[in-house]
């Protein structure tokens, strides 16, 4: 689904306000929830970039009104030479990492850790989701937990219900 759980929204807003990033990448933008949070709580001076694989979502949710820039690519496509010199600032992976193959998700995190100040990941615990509206990219295909983030510098971890939030310090700090 192009929507994220709201269980951790208050924690996410507090983190966004505290970090006060200049650049935010929203991986798996969906309906634009995190872009709207950044805009509403920090302002429009922040550069916001949506990474959204589905062109229909970009149009339906009018993501061009929410984000400074939109890239219609998969999250795994970020790992190529055209992004090697990027400063990703804060990366939000909200209810998205479980849609990637585990190997792609791990590769993505390793790529981002070198190019980001912060990586915020929200993911479900034991939440079954198959295709949605005929879209195979909406299916959950990997399970995430503490062991997957053990090699990173975790600054904050919050669990509420079936949702977890992990804030990782990137190497640009």
pLDDT tens, position by position, 97-153? 999 999 999 999 999 999 999 999 999 998 676 777 776 777 777 999 999 999 999
Q: What is the reported pTM?
A: 0.94
pLDDT tens, position by position, 7-23? 999 999 999 999 999 99
pLDDT tens, position by position, 41-67? 997 778 999 999 999 999 999 999 999
Round the average pLDDT of the chain to a whole number and report it. 93
3-state secondary structure labels for all residues of the chain: CCCCCCCCHHHHHHHHHHHCCCEEEEECCCCCHHHHHHHHHCCCCCEEEEECCCHHHHHHCCHHHCCCEEECCCHHHHCCHHHCCCCCCEEEEECCHHHCCHHHHHHHHHHHHCCCCEEEEEEECCCCCCCECCEHHHCCCCCCCHHHHCCCEEEEEEEECCEEEEEEECCCC
| pLDDT on residue 13 | 97
């Amino acid at each position: 689904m192009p929507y994220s759980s709201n269980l951790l929204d208050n924690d996410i807003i507090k983190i966004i306000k505290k970090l006060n990033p200049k650049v935010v990448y929203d991986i798996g933008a969906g309906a634009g929830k995190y872009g709207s949070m950044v805009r509403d709580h920090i302002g429009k001076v922040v550069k916001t970039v949506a990474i959204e694989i589905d062109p229909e979502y970009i149009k339906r949710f009018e993501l061009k009104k929410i984000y400074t820039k939109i890239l219609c690519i998969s999250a795994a496509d970020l790992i190529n030479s055209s992004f090697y010199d990027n400063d990703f600032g804060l990366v939000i992976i909200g209810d998205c990492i479980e849609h990637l193959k585990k190997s792609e998700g791990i590769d993505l995190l390793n790529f981002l850790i070198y190019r980001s100040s912060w990586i915020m990941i929200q993911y479900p615990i034991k939440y079954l989701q198959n295709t949605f509206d005929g879209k195979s990219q909406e299916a959950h295909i990997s399970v995430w937990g503490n062991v997957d983030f053990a090699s990173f510098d975790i600054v904050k971890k919050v669990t509420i219900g079936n949702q977890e939030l992990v804030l990782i310090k990137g190497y640009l700090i």
